[in-house]
Amino acid sequence: MSNHANGKSKLNLRSDHRKALLRNQIISFINNGQLVSTTPRVREVKRLVEKLVTIAREGKNFAVIRRVWQKLPYDKSAVYKLIDDIAPRYVDRPGGYTRCVSLGRRVSDTAPIAILTWV
């Protein structure tokens, strides 16, 4: 089976570990408004957050809450913050809700670091 053009990065992790890591980073990003991590992780979080915001823009109804809760089952406060506070800011915007800015390389292991913020 080929991994070409599937749109996902493995991040050198098992699938369950990767899923948990990305969920936790998405929740951290929603709660704090920014995320500093390695560039590949930030790109994956950006990809998933953009999809969540697009779902949440529909408004606060039961179906939307369940769809977002399905992706972020750990933290209900982050789900409601996304639906009530963040998504309404981007109702008129067709996409591109986040910005990824490179911060250079980490001193300890020279890994590329980036910051993810809301636009």
pTM of the model: 0.92
Residue 39 has, within 13 A of its CA and on its CB side, a CA count of 10
| pLDDT, tens digit, 9 for 90 and up, residues 6-58 | 878 899 999 999 999 999 999 999 999 999 999 999 999 999 999 999 999 99
- Nearest-angstrom CA–CA distance, 116 and 98: 7
Which residue type is seen at 74? Y
DSSP 8-state code for residue 60: S
- Nearest-angstrom CA–CA distance, 85 and 74: 19
Question: Residue 1: which pLDDT band, with cuts at 50, 70 and 90?
Answer: low
Domains within the chain, CATH numbers bracketed: 15-118 (3.90.1030.10)
